[in-house]
Structure formats: structure tokens, C-alpha cells
A and B are shown apart, each in its own frame.
Chain A
């Protein structure tokens, strides 16, 4: 029982790390970036190459994945994404789905179609018993990372100057510019942050979820579920949503394996019926 709860929390946390970047681009920048998974995949492949081919330490790979993918995100934002900020949502969807397919083809070309595996350091392998529950070391590591990340993000967005600049820029770009806020820079940085988080999620998730060129499509549904259930107005919403979905998914599969795969979708449908804008939504928000 406790083991299942623990596994569910770890799985939910992993979903959160992967989806929180999307919360930022979708919720704060109001841009539907379905290519989010492609950034996550990039992070995963960077880790695989550094770790397996060059022997770089796993702990070092994670920040590298974050910054490298953030840099790629910033580059793409400057060259491609910014032209579509004012475009209708359908255009954004088509554009980002196009990027996904290009990313898949590129990953297949350079890395091959097979499943990539990463070799974790010894201290993250295996498990131990604690109060009758089986604790997987790596899962504990994920939970730790995620907790730190969630708190840091929440503080950064609500308590820092950059956070308020960002919110101002999103709410009314013209006025924000009039007040001397460098709106394009704020957007570029935010987009880079969102992409970087995706890259970090891909790097951390590669061990549990696997990594192959189809990663962006396989997990796109999960990102979208987390964001739509959580609402896009805060970090807390997706955080709780990811937890809820992770636990529901793992528990559903454990206690009722025949229907387990449907539980996550059933939860989503229920939440959206009761609260169409997600668990936490800002009234009047865009």
C-alpha cells in the first residue's frame, strides 16, 4: 500500500517535471507549444550521449541538459516562435506539431530508432525498505528534484522582479513595454526556461520512461493532461494535478489491472466536467 503510494508520487513528480515547462509556455506566455516533448527528448539524448559515450557524471549531465536545451529553446524562440505569438492558436498547433515530426526524424537519423538506456550511478540504483514500504532510490531522487524545482519555480514567478515583469508582459504587452519592460527579452528568457525544464525532465525521465525518437508524441498526451487538469495559472495547479494523476494511474494499474490504463483519462474527464478550466484557474485569465 505505502509502496504503491510512493511509486505513484514518484511517477506524478516525474510527470510534473516534464510538464511544468509546458505550463510556463502555455499558461504564462499563452503559446500552445506541442513541441514541448521534442525539447524533453533533446535533453534525454544529450544525457545519453554525454553519459554513455563520454562518461560525464550523471549529476553533471542534468544541468548540462537544462542549459543546452534552454539555449536551443532561446535560439528557436528568436528565429521561429516569436513570429507566431500573435498567430491564432491553430497556427501555433500546426507549427509546433510540424517541429515535432522534424525532431522525430532528426533523432531517428542521428541516434537510430532503438530504445536508449542510461547507466545510473550505483548509489541511485536499487531500493531499500522504510516503514514497510519499498523505496526505489531513483524514485526518491526524482521526488527530491521535483520538490526543489516546484518551490523554486513558485518563488521565482511570484516573488521576483522577473516574475512580475513576465506576468505584466503577458497580461498587456503594450503597457508593459510602455513601462520600460523589455518584453521580447522577457519572453525569450521565459521560453528558454520552459524548454530547459523540458530538457531536464527528459534527462531525469529517460531511465523510467525510456527514450526513443517517438518520445515527443508518446508523452504529449500526458503533458497535456497534466496542464489541462492543473489549470495554467500557477505552478501549484499542475503540481497537484501531476500528483493526483500519478497516484491514480499507479494505484489503478495495481488494484485493477484490467482497467488500469483508463484511470488516468477517467480522472481527467471527471475533473474537467466539474472544473472546465482545471483545478486552479485564474478567473478572467486568458
Chain B
């Protein structure tokens, strides 16, 4: 134990000497500490977000307001105490100017108090529970919230002849968020929720839950599941013949994640989802983003997490330009509030009140385009705010 302490002390000492010998460089660099799950069950999230952030830097250079932007990637393996420790290390030892990443809600929440105490902006690039940005004044989000996607899906369902729905969500924060807000919007519009099914997060077999849905005979089933589980669900949904029984599948875009959509095959065809990004979004910005991303990542398709990473960097670059190189946390936060830009996903802005992203939510259908499956957008709900905070403000 003593030996280990001594080693850590030595390492810390070395780290300090190196940072003292090169002070001129550190003033000119803008360090972003990117904390992501790069290993463990959520590794694909980390991979996508990092690739998205790097794609932005590859396309727009690594300088902003005369400073060199440097990414320092750390792996928290999807455990919250690690996220917190890494955030602290990055702030104290690396003296980062901004934190970013955060693959899951608990991970983001764990880092909130560090951001507040250190007065360092923390850009949430993936986690999607509404409450995160209320945890710290220094959180800003470039991904989206689940209620933001779930409410437009409910509105659309009400307008399209869907009168009764069974909801099926993963039993954790984002799932409950999605269920609550879908239900609220759908019943306000006169729809009926026949049953609310919650699936344990670690669930190998969907058979009993799907059978429950089938027996309830709804017009549609509304689904939120994290992307890996989502693809299994799609398979079993098709195999159980729910589609033949006249039950439509509506979901948030996590279920038809672009990263693995193509491998889901025919069972995914026709699924209706609402979300903020599709790799098939029709705009020149997106076309450039998708082709550059695929080239840099061995053909991997960007998904909604990659765009969160991309726009997170975009927001930091823009904020830095706006402060003309002032890297103090408060100046950056002021600059971030109210920013707006054209992202590959469409027009977006940062709500100055809530620091949450305001963006279009697209209704999409899974279709085969040139032999590959894509979420093809067919309807747009413009400039949707996070409904949870919008309601609290009323």
C-alpha cells in the first residue's frame, strides 16, 4: 500500500513538473476533458460520441479564437464513481477548460457537483434524462431529452388514427421519463393507455412482455429501450407476429439506432420513430458529415450520439469565438446560452433559460434506401424544447 502511494505521488510530481516546464503552451491550448464509457456495456456510446467530436475537429480544424483545442479522452467504463473521479482529475491535474461527454444519466449527475465547484462548463453529449441540466448551472446539453422525442411521437400518434396504446419502456430514469411524457401528451389528446409495461434493464427475453402487449390488443405499442436491447426487441416483435395482429410499433429513435439499424434486417421495416437525428437527414451539412464520419471510422454510420458529440464541440468552438478566447467558466457559460447554429441534424439552439438544446424532432419510418435500412424522415415538429422544463416555466 505504501509502495503504491509513493508511486502515485511520484507520478503526480512528474505530471506537475511537466506542466510547469511548458506554461507557454498550456495558455494557448483549450483543453476539453471528454469522459465517456469506452469499455463495458456502453462502449458503443463512447465510440460514437468520441468519433463525432473528432469529426467536428477534423472538419473545422483544431483552433478556435487563436487557441489550439485539445481533446483529452478518459474512459469511465459506465460507472458513476469513475466519472466523478475522472472529472476531478481532469479539472485538478489537467486543468481542463471544459468537461464533456457523459454517456448515461447517472454518469452526468455524478460529475455535476465537480462542474459547479470548479466553475467549468460541462457539455452533455449523450445522456438524455431531463433532470440533468438542473443538477448544475454549468451543464449544457447538445444531445436531447427523452420527453423531447416522446411528446411529438404522442402527438403524431393522436393525429394518425392510433387510439389505444400500450407503453413498454426500460425500467430506469430515461424510460420512466419517456413513459410519463408520452402518456401525458397522448391522453391529453384523447388517447387511451391500456397498459404500462416496464422491462428490467438487464432483460434477456422479451417474450412475456410482448405477449402482454399482444393480449391487450392496442392499436400501437410505444417503446423506449436503450439501443442494444432495442434491436433484440425488434426481432422478437416481428417473430411474435405483433405486426400481423395489427399492432403498430412507435418508438423513440433509440430503438432504431442508426449504428445497428441495418443489421436488424427486414423486421425493422415500417417502424415509426420520433427523434432528433437520422443519418438519412436530407441536407448538405449532413451529407458532408456522414461521408467524412464514415471515412474516418471504417464505414461506421453516425448515430444520434455521434451528432451529440459533434454539436458539443461546435458549441464549445462557437462559445470560445464569442468570448474571444476568454476561457473562464462563467464567460463560456454566458456565451453558450442562446447560441444557435445549423447542425447536420437541422437548426438547433441552446435555450438560455435551461441550457438545454432546442431542436427539430422528426418523425421517421424505417425504409430500405439503396439496399440499406435508414430512418427516413417524413414529418417535422419544429424547434421543440424539453417539455419538462417548458412546463415547469409556465
Residues of A participating in the B interface, judged by any CB pair closer than 8 Å: 3-4, 7, 10-11, 52, 105, 108, 112-117, 119, 125-127, 134, 136, 138, 207-210, 212-214, 218-219, 222, 249-254, 257-258, 260-261
Contact = CB atoms under 8 A, between A and B. Distances in A.
A250 B240 contact: no
B208 interface: yes
B205 A115 contact: no
Given A115-B231, A117-B263, 19 more contacts: A4-B211, A7-B208, A10-B207, A11-B205, A11-B207, A105-B39, A113-B43, A117-B235, A117-B265, A127-B241, A136-B207, A208-B236, A210-B228, A212-B41, A214-B40, A214-B41, A219-B204, A260-B200, A261-B200
Q: How large is the interface on B (under 10, 10 to 19, 20 to 34, 35 or more residues)?
A: 35 or more
B47 interface: yes
Given A219-B204, A250-B205, A125 B239 contact: yes
Nearest to A126: B239
Nearest to B207: A7
A113 B224 CA distance: 21
Contact of B260 (A117, A136, A258): A117
Contacts of A117: 231-232, 235, 260, 263-265
B212 to A, nearest CB: 6
Nearest to A214: B41
Contacts of B39: 105, 108, 113
Contacts of A252: 208
The 3 closest A-B pairs by CB, nearest first: A113-B43, A254-B208, A253-B208
B241 A134 contact: yes
Contacts of A214: 40-41
Contacts of A115: 227-229, 231-232, 260
A114 B241 contact: no
Tell which of B207, B259, B264 has the most Cβ of chain A within 10 Å.
B207
Contact of B43 (A213, A222, A257): A213
B212 A257 contact: yes
Contacts of B265: 117, 119
Contacts of A3: 211
A285 B264 CA distance: 48
B341 interface: no
Contacts of A126: 239, 241
Interface string B29-45: 00000000001111110
A108 B78 CA distance: 15
17 contacts: A7-B211, A10-B207, A108-B39, A108-B43, A113-B39, A115-B227, A115-B260, A119-B265, A136-B239, A136-B240, A208-B204, A209-B204, A210-B232, A250-B205, A250-B208, A252-B208, A253-B209
B234 to A, nearest CB: 9
A31 B142 CA distance: 50
Contacts of A10: 207
A4 B210 CA distance: 11
B367 interface: no
A138 B232 CA distance: 14
B47 A113 contact: yes
B228 A257 contact: no
A212 B226 CA distance: 14
B208 A127 contact: no
Interface string B191-224: 0000001101011110111011000000000000
A117 B263 CA distance: 6
A5 B167 CA distance: 24
B231 A257 contact: no
Interface hub of A112, A117, A138, A219 (most chain B Cβ within 10 A) = A117
Contacts of A125: 238-239
B37 to A, nearest CB: 9
A214 B40 CA distance: 7
Contact of B207 (A212, A222, A250): A250
Nearest to A208: B205
B260 A114 contact: yes
A257 B44 contact: no
